[in-house]
Amino acid sequence: MRDAGVMTAKRVLILGGTEFVGHAFVDEAVARGHDVTVFNRGTREPRADVTTLVGDRTAPGGLDALAVGEWDLVVDTWSWSPKAVTDAAALLSRRAGKYVYVSSRSVHTYPTAAYAREDAPVVEASADDLDHSDYARAKRGGELGALAGFGDRSLLLRAGLILGPRENIGRLPWWLTRIARGGEVVAPGPAEAHVQYIDARDLAAFGLDTAATGAVSVVGPPDVTTMSDVLEACVAATGSDARLRWFTPQQIAAVGIEPWLELPIWIPPGADADGMHRADVSTALAAGLTVRPLADTVGDTGRWLRGIGGVAPQRPDRPVVGLPPEKEAALLNAGP
């Protein structure tokens, strides 16, 4: 990792820019007064405050719209086959100053130790892989593709759990929606279990502003936020009369509830939780990462959710998360 002072990026190319994290990058770049170009398939109404280039990076000739142009900074949020990252980075390597690839801490081999740093072992992967069925290898392959094109002008943002407005995975939106309905709500314990996350807007701000290069774990500080903090913030944000009823991991397992998927964000204490929710982020903090209060992330997400009618968008390549009503009832009825 190298940090040689803050880079002022004026011409920013964002590959994507219409979904959760990409949209946050566009908003943050525009707010900074940058000259922003987005490249995507053109399936959304183009924004008036950016230049839009249209192309499908998975199709033959799909990058033709990027054949000309120069940028100070490229942001790539791609989550599928590494070859698409490799091709884009190769095409832009002589016409862009820096390549910011939004990767994931999932690139580390399993199980990831508590307080792991960027030098923890990573999975084997290929920059030319056309497959994306293995998320960890796809993201690591994307990293290799960025490095092949830009070398030490690459910034690999290894994000952890990402929350915030426009979330299209459904984790925080599910909790907000369920708590807004009120009544007794299953709260997965222990209440003091650690949660480590990054607001998409803070991730974007860091990626745009930092002069750092190389791999950087980008999540909020460990051992600060708890599961109780998250759920209580949801209660406050919704103004609900919901009553959080805490259950032990053993009680939850007894009725067959799946952590993370059916109780979003939550992982029972142990090696998996330590690997996910206890990353060392000293590199990012030293390179300028700042994070907003949990109440802002939850409150802003709640306002966004209400503003779109209460139903969050869902990525088609990700499973729908949330606790089925019958399992919720089974646990509430079985508990003490």
Place of tokens 């091709």: 87
Say if residue 315's pLDDT is above 50.
Answer: yes
Position 92 pLDDT exceeds 80: yes
- Expressed in percent and rounded to 5, the helix, strand and coil fractions of the chain are 35, 20, 45
pLDDT tens figures, 151-188: 999 999 999 999 999 999 999 999 999 999 999 999 99
Give the phi and the psi of residue 124 in degrees, each rounded to 5: -80, 140
DSSP three-state, residue 8: coil
Average confidence (pLDDT) over 279-296: 99
Exposed, middle or buried, 46 (CB in 10 Å: 0-12/13-18/19+)?
middle
Please state the rounded mean pLDDT for residues 17-44. Answer: 97
Tell me if residue 12 falls in helix, strand or coil. strand
Residue 296 carries which DSSP code? Answer: H
pLDDT at 296 over 50: yes
Confidence band, pLDDT 50/70/90 cuts, at residue 8: low
Confidence category of residue 335, pLDDT binned at 50, 70, 90: low
Percent above pLDDT 90 for the chain: 94
Name the more confident of 20 and 5.
Answer: 20
The whole-number pLDDT of residue 5 equals: 41
Whether residue 129 contacts residue 144, with contact meaning beta carbons closer than 8 Å, is answered with no
Residue whose pair of structure tokens reads 């170009």 in the numeric block: 37
Q: Which one has a higher pLDDT value, 1 or 328?
A: 328
Which residue, among 260, 246, 234, has the nearest Cα to 321 in the 3D structure?
260
pLDDT of residue 85: 98
Q: What domains does the chain contain, in order, with CATH numbers? A: 11-159 (3.40.50.720), 168-195+224-277+294-334 (3.90.25)
Identify the pLDDT of residue 317. Answer: 87
Give percent of the chain with pLDDT exceeding 70.
Answer: 97
- CB–CB of 279/216 below 8 Å? no
Centre a 10 Å sphere on the Cβ of residue 221 and count the other Cβ atoms it contains. Answer: 15
Evaluate if residue 121 carries a pLDDT over 90. yes
> In 10 A of CB 4, how many CB atoms?
8
Cis check: omega of the bond before 221, within 30 degrees of 0: no
The predicted model gives 32-44 an average pLDDT of 96
pLDDT reported for residue 284: 99
> Coil, strand or helix: which one is 217?
strand
Provide the residue type at 254 as one letter.
A
Which position has the token pair 């599910």?
A: 174
Give strand ranges (E) for the chain: 11-15, 35-40, 51-54, 71-76, 96-104, 154-159, 161-163, 184-188, 194-195, 197-199, 214-218, 225-226, 243-247
Cβ atoms of 266 and 259 closer than 8 Å = yes
Selection from 58, 105, 101 nearest residue 81 by Cα? 58
Angle at alpha carbon of residue 124, lines to 119 and 126, rounded to 5°: 115
- 203-216: average pLDDT: 98
Distance CA 117, CA 269 (A): 20
pLDDT score of 128 more than 70? yes
